Amino acid sequence: MTSKAKELIIRQPDDWHLHLRDGNLLRSVVAASANVFRRAVVMPNLSPPITSINAAINYKKRILDSLPSNSVFDPLMTIYLTDDLSPKVLEEGNKSGIFFGAKLYPANSTTNSSHGVSDLNAIYPLLETLQVLGIPLLIHGEVTDKNVDIYDREAVFIDRNLHPLLSRFPGLKVVLEHITTDYAVQFVEKSQYNLAATITPHHLHINRNAMFEGGVRSDFYCLPIAKREKHRIALRKAATSGKSCFFLGTDSAPHTRDSKESSCGCAGIFNAPYALESYAEVFDQEDALDRFEAFASLNGPAFYGLPMNQKTITLVKKSQLIPEFVQVKGSHSPSQRISIFHAGQTLKWSILSSSLTQYHNSHT
């Protein structure tokens, strides 16, 4: 397929890294993901975080209760690792099947991560348990050392923490989430371990200049922070390579206007409403539409040992203007608006509405 393609039919994709929040925010954003993706790995960094079986079960129920009535969407729940979490929680959670994965936030690395892990060595018993049970470890890969430049925190994490962790737990399934550097790309590509990485749409579209264009642009502030152009180019090459170690994870992270713009604004980019179209634009620009399905719909299930989705989704080359924001349900205040990634821009691809049709056997 070339960039002249006008239509693209792929198996229904999954989002392997998503923030859905809770309450009115959850109700305002969940449909955007559920309308397109069949499954999503739901991050546990609520306040308080999801650190127990019951909390995960109840959160899953709230997500399902918030879905539009015709939705077919599986939220895959994760547990938030802390210094004092007991391995028993992982064992019992595994028996009940509630935990799809365990999320490692280095303490204070990002939004609602203050309860995260302060010393990786101290949670080795938890990692041992994950390895034995076969529960994937999902990593926010940044050091929090204030002496390390914010743009170097991912690379330093790889050297200081990830490399030793992988050699200590060679049987552990690990995903380095939302990679942002050419260093991470190479590390994942060359790894002999059970390691994969997700890549967000925003890190494929923006470099660090976006945060400072004509002033401070909080809508482009996320963590790991967007890096130099050479890293964006490396990420685009990785995502569009078709290599099985790279797959789709939006890291869509909604924050209302008032939490983005304050003396200490939150990190996160809300890309869920046009995430698939955003990725498609990149694959089209890179002349790699023939590898879009691998990245969006095949590599993730293959890594996790899950079945591929049976339905297809159709994208058409039809321009659309991206709206500015989603309003939080139950509020009319401008402070309760969530800016959408690509707001005010035109994207060249659109999802053919009601295109989710039963998968045909001829398309293999």
Q: Is 218 in the site for ligand DOR (CB under 6 A)?
A: no
* DSSP β-ladder status, 350-351 and 312-316: antiparallel
CB of 351 to Zn ion, least distance (A): 23
Residues between 16 and 75 with contacts to ligand DOR, criterion CB under 6 A: 19, 45
- Single residue of 15, 154, 182, 251 touching Zn ion by CB under 5 A: 251
Does 111 engage in binding with ligand DOR (CB under 6 A)? Answer: yes
* Residue number with CB closer to ligand DOR (30 or 253): 253
222 near ligand DOR, rule: CB under 6 A: yes
CB of residue 78 vs Zn ion: minimum separation in angstroms? 10
The size of the interface with ligand DOR (CB under 6 A), counted in residues, is: 11
Residue 153 binds ligand DOR (CB under 6 A): no
Q: Of residues 14, 74, 182, 251, which has the active-site annotation? A: 251
Omega of the bond prior to 201 within 30 degrees of 0, cis? no
* Interaction between residue 110 and ligand DOR (CB under 6 A): yes
Give dist(CA 340, CA 350) in Å, integer: 16
The amino acid sitting at 26 is: L
Q: How far apart are CA 133 and CA 127, in angstroms?
A: 10
Angle at 319 (CA atoms; ends 350, 317), nearest 5 degrees = 55
- Which of ligand DOR, Zn ion, none does residue 289 bind (CB under 5 to 8 Å by kind)? none
Query: Helix crossing, 182-190 with 229-239: angle to 10°?
Result: 30
Give the Cα separation of 173 and 168 in Å (integer).
12
Q: Which range binds ligand DOR by CB under 6 A, 58-66, 92-100, 125-133, 261-269?
A: 261-269
Q: Does residue 152 have an active-site annotation?
A: no
Closer CB to Zn ion, 251 or 293, in the complex:
251
Which DSSP string do the residues of 155-196 spell out, in sequence order? HHHIIIIIHHHHHH-TT--EEE-S--SHHHHHHHHH--SSEE
Distances (CA, A) of 182 to 38, 61, 179, 353: 30, 39, 9, 36
Interface with ligand DOR in residues 305-364 (CB under 6 A):
none
Task: Please state, in angstroms and rounded to a whole number, the distance separating the CA atoms of residues 151 and 180.
Answer: 10
With beta carbons less than 8 A apart as the criterion, state whether 185 and 240 touch: no
Binds 235, which of ligand DOR, Zn ion, none (CB < 5 to 8 A, cut-off by type)? none
- Token pair for residue 120? 């990786």
Residue 19 CB, nearest approach to ligand DOR (Å): 5
Nearest to 301 by CA among 8, 35, 41: 41
Q: Residue 16 in contact with residue 300, Cβ under 8 Å? A: yes
**Nearest approach, Cβ of residue 252 and ligand DOR (Å):** 9
- Between CA 292 and CA 340 the distance in angstroms is 23
Q: Binding residue for ligand DOR (CB under 6 A) from 50, 89, 130, 223? A: 223
Rule CB under 5 A: say whether 15 interacts with Zn ion: no
Choose the one of Zn ion, ligand DOR, none that binds residue 203, judging by a C-beta under 5 to 8 angstroms depending on kind: none
* 203 scored as a contact of ligand DOR (CB under 6 A): no
The answer to the question of residue 253 lying near ligand DOR (CB under 6 A) is: yes
Q: Is 198 in the site for ligand DOR (CB under 6 A)?
A: no
- Catalytic residue positions, numbered: 251
Enumerate binding residues for ligand DOR (CB under 6 A): 19, 45, 110-111, 140, 222-223, 253, 266-268
Enumerate binding residues for Zn ion (CB under 5 A): 251
